[in-house]
Structure 1
Amino acid sequence: MKKLLFVFTVALLFVTCKENEKQSTVIEKLTKEDITTSIYPENITKVFDAHGGIDNWNRMKTLSFSVNKTNGAEITTTNLKTRAELIDTPTYTLGFDGRTLWVNEKDDNEYKGNAKFYKGLMLYFYAMPFIVGDDGIIYEDAEPLTFDWKTYPGVLISYDADIGVSPNDQYIIYYDADSGQMQWLAYTVTYGKEGKSDKFSYIRYNDWKSIYSLILPNSMTWYKVEEGKPTEVARVIEFDDVIISEDAPENSIFGMPEGAKIIE
């Protein structure tokens, strides 16, 4: 009888310990998620949540997409953790391995773009709104945008002085007040210039698709601007062959090939 009572007591302690361990794991997980989301203001958190959640996004390590340009497909592949990037086009390949920026011209086609400016540009537009969850970002309320009789609240995004090559750039995410889904992006371009700019360009984000439970752009529409406000459609960019994964890309794909030029 004593032996049976001992076995029962040990089993009960084992079950209790396992339950406590399970509860601790759940509490730890919830605490980590609370810490992650609590560092952001309520309005931008609402936007992140409407697009699948910043925690879900932060698990991803690879992003690849294709954009059709006049000379053919431009394929961008990025390591979301290191921001190493490869932009492959019919006439050139632009690469960044985390330290060195390089360009490889194809078939004697001279590269005439601005590699420093273009690196990461399409990634930044495509990865909205999650890309503004990076470190070193300052969030403020912005004046709402009214378009076609509907008003969208805004979040102004600016950067600490030592962040990126254009820390004076600013972005405004405008979102649907009810759903939290992003609807517009206003942005300035200050690369190579001193100080901030008050000249905003506008992109409309009203075409989304779900990939791995993340709501990402299917296309983006640039608008003409008059008196600081969007007026009519200027151009549309569509995204194809989107790949997003929790697995990191091979580092070797970002390495500079023989014959490529280093961009200083």
Structure 2
Amino acid sequence: MKKIILLFTVSLLISSCKTSAKKEEKEEIQKEKYPEALAKVLEKHGGIKTWKNAKTMSFSVNGEEHTVDLPTRKTVVSSDAYSLGYDGEKVWLSQQDSTAFKGKPDFYYNLYFYFYAMPFVLADDGIVYSDTEPLTFEGKSYPGIKISYKANVGTSPDDNYFIYYNPESYQMEWLGYTVTYFSKKPSDKFNIIRYNDWENVNGLLLPKSLTWYKKDEKGNPTEPAREPLQFSSALVTQASLADSFFEEPKK
């Protein structure tokens, strides 16, 4: 993490010396591009302008450090036993022991980023929004928005997400999602996550922990299915890291 902080500092000094003639984008585009409810959720979590101005995000989870270049989604995931990432063209895996990493790099490299960067990743291009039934938990109803993807967008265009928000504050409370990466077929089976608590990270409201829940026959959450997933060491900066940071280490 010290290495990343140092890289952020150096990059920030370099970027601060550059001038830009770009005009600030007006947040009125929210009303044109996103459903009204989603625009309010995005605003509650810091606003789409703040998100688009951010260039680099870093966080720790499950003993790994995840670093993402937000405009390009280049990624590095590093741990003591392995590192993997996406350099803008291909996904790579580097490890001393061939048994250290047991997952699918193509599926895994941005998995936690998607959960962590909610709701902002649901404002990406190629998304289709529609209404969905509210979610009910402990007698409270949470309105929802269904998110699906246009054909050939990403590695799993048949995935669906369901965001559920507090009707008073418009803060995101729950996320439903399907997984089609392995089957390559649409699925009606979905998982449900509760976003437990949040923290302000350089103007963005980001989660500190998530909890997967069991569901009843109607698809409403009932009780935790496992211990909460904890995020820590969160950083968001308007400085960009060098392209070489995201390249596969030379052997």
TM-score range, shorter chain: 0.7 to 0.9
Match status 1:115 vs 2:96: no
Given that 1:63 and 1:80 are in contact with CA atoms closer than 8 Å, whether structure 2 keeps it comes out as yes
Question: 5+ residue gaps in structure 1?
Answer: 1-27, 260-264
Indicate which of 203, 221, 235 corresponds to 1:230. Answer: 221
What value does the CA root-mean-square deviation take over the aligned residues? 1.5
Correspondence list, 1:60-71, <5 A: 60-67=54-61, 69=62
Indicate which of 159, 163, 177 corresponds to 2:153. Answer: 163
Q: Distance in 2 between matches of 1:144 and 1:222?
A: 18
Which residue of the partner structure matches residue 23 of structure 1?
none
1:138-159 Cα offsets, whole Å, 9 max, x none, are: 0111100010000000000000
Q: What letter matches 2:80 in structure 1?
A: P
Correspondence list, 1:180-191, <5 A: 180-191=170-181
Pairwise CA distance, 1:251: 1.4
Correspondence list, 1:1-264, <5 A: 32-67=26-61, 69=62, 73-107=63-97, 109-227=99-217, 228-233=219-224, 234-259=226-251
Pairwise CA distance, 1:36: 4.5
Question: How many residues are paired up?
Answer: 227
Question: 5+ residue gaps in structure 2?
Answer: 1-22
Q: Distance in 1 between matches of 2:109 and 2:178?
A: 16
Pairwise CA distance, 1:106: 2.9
Pairwise CA distance, 1:63: 0.3
More helix by share: 1
Given that 1:92 and 1:109 are in contact with CA atoms closer than 8 Å, whether structure 2 keeps it comes out as no
Residues 29 and 98 from structure 1, CA distance in 2 versus in 1: closer, same or farther, beyond 3 angstroms?
A: closer
Pairwise CA distance, 1:79: 0.2
Pairwise CA distance, 1:96: 1.0
1:162-207 Cα offsets, whole Å, 9 max, x none, are: 1100000000000001110000000000113243111110110130
Q: What letter matches 2:70 in structure 1?
A: L
Pairwise CA distance, 1:110: 3.9
When Rg is computed on C-alpha atoms for both structures, the one with the higher figure is 1
Which secondary structure state, in structure 2, belongs to the residue aligned with residue 206 of structure 1?
A: strand
Which residue of the partner structure matches residue 16 of structure 1?
none
Q: Distance in 2 between matches of 1:108 and 1:48?
A: 41
Which secondary structure state, in structure 1, belongs to the residue aligned with residue 159 of structure 2?
A: coil
